[in-house]
Structure 1
């Protein structure tokens, strides 16, 4: 009988591609009939190097989750479509591949942890069968070898008594345990890129900390590149070295974590940081950015943050700022930070 080796000794095959693992170029996503379609993501560009941990942060409606779904090839079509751009994974444009190729890549090379484990797991299949199915799709293993791999995965993500629990159903697990199962499914084939979409949403603080520590463990053990989607800068800071800030479907700032926290250049990023509760400010009112995120398609010209911005100038209403190099380590889509005065 062949038993799968410990996951701690299984490293993903090193990429021979010399460039970034993932490169998103001028990505735009729209929904609706052509001619009247509304863009929910516009001109998004960023890169992720192999082995890095990068976060995308923004309020609901900023386009961060839609960007991650585009990378996975999961934009619902119709009514959605990729309007412009390229998504290069190890130098190969995923948008140029036949639809039949993406199921091969999903799970094996790129995997995703969704934010709602109860709705993502099949309620009538056991945990073991669901994780085993992910392995069966991409790896040639016998039934017993696959079972041993599932047990190894459950141990890796901290499920107690995995030999017994692999026969349990999702409703028999707590929310935190279900999220661990989702992580086990995502890393079952040692993907090169792991996308985590709000992995700690709806979990209490203690369980959040455990899930974040598990993400650290996955990265150390499997050498996995991580793209973390969140509205919480604190969660991003715990996992990532670099932050991409999105607002109204656009990237408004891109910098390393320390630079973002020390010296944010976009007013929206400063607003997000000011909104983080602090113990020393217990007697002061919690800051909130005035106004609301604009509905997709309602901003026809100028900076999308203009109506809510405390630093706005006339140019902000007239011209949409591109992502500008403000410092050697930092880009921001802000005319004021770039030195404009009127």
Structure 2
């Protein structure tokens, strides 16, 4: 997102008064959303249904909410239960790929997108990138997957789904509650009535319009970018202040996580999916550089030797895990 886009998004979450000027355009956007939904509800358009269960992990808002860590947790949970999950992504930020693209160990993030590259590295399950999600899903089926997880795609109605999970940033919620471009919502808040579960990432500091389950992002390890060596998250393998680089939906969340570990931070926020250049990642004071896993997949070969990745894991509340396992059993029964 450009600098102008970032400033608009900040205003949308704050609810700046000038956004009232955009409400006529918001009305057009809402009309287009209703028209598209009605086309599928009436049968004028038909969503493609995969022969295996499909779980969508999405959000209602623009800007990061923490859904990709939940996707990683989900596929690892499914694999631990003996299933063969695959991840389907649009591949935002990737350029030049022939679709569908099965992400290989050598696929650059610049081609497949930073989140698919990160998820492929973290989970080891098949990851396919394709803006045409039904086509991408068929490629995952060819890879032997028996359950599909969509990273984003809540608004992609051509793809039928069996379970919808919405992730919300606990600090920002739904901003001013208005749809694009007068607010950050991609769907009206009424969409929450039809999803299966809403998870709040972190403590909810704003009032939410529906019942939600809790999810936290837990630091799991420090990884040195130069050689991949890992250290416990609670014991930083460096001393002194750090240059913290974050090109994610809400960089301040990353900086707060570092401060929570007792680390003095020199913050360097960038726009979501930022394409880094070497000069943006080099500093002349000798302090180490730390970044997110999502940023690190784009920065191999660009960063100095004393550069570190803080890896995090999603940790949903136990009640959600039990609920999810029950729904998965119901899906299995329905498929028989």
Query: Is TM (by shorter chain) over 0.5?
Result: no
Normalised TM-score (structure 2): 0.27
Larger Rg: 1 or 2?
Answer: 1
State TM-score, norm by structure 1.
0.27
